Amino acid sequence: MSVKIRLMRLGAKKKPFYRIVVADSRVQRDGKCIEQIGFYNPMVECGAPGFLKVNAERLGYWLGVGAQPTDRVSWFIKKGFIEAQSGSAASTAQEA
């Protein structure tokens, strides 16, 4: 199973709102997701409160176990909007 970190579109017509989710790559864009890890609101000015919020710990976990971010999520990470905390499945399992 290939897992992707991608955007799930919500909101009204011409007023988009996105959830940042972890989902199986074979599932449709707005289909069932494994976990919701944040949101992105393109209607709010860049950098303003409510523009983007992500659970960095969970993002780091999913990247650590091999989930592939989509182009837009990768762009957020590269631009510094999202700070992924480094954490792999092995280190999380040892803590438990």
**One-character DSSP codes across 23-92:** EETTS-TTS--SEEEEEE-TTSPTTSTTSEEE-HHHHHHHHHTTPEE-HHHHHHHHHTSS-PPP--HHHH
Q: How high is the pLDDT of residue 50? A: 85
Q: Is residue 29 part of a domain?
A: yes
Residue indicated by tokens 């989710």: 21
The CATH number given to whatever domain includes residue 26 is 3.30.1320.10
- Domain-embedded: residue 18: yes
Residues 1-31: pLDDT tens digits?
689 999 999 999 999 999 999 999 898 888 8
DSSP 3-state of 96: coil
pLDDT: is 95 or 67 the higher one?
67
In a domain, 92, yes or no: no
Q: Please tell me the pTM assigned to this model.
A: 0.79
Average per-residue pLDDT for the chain: 85
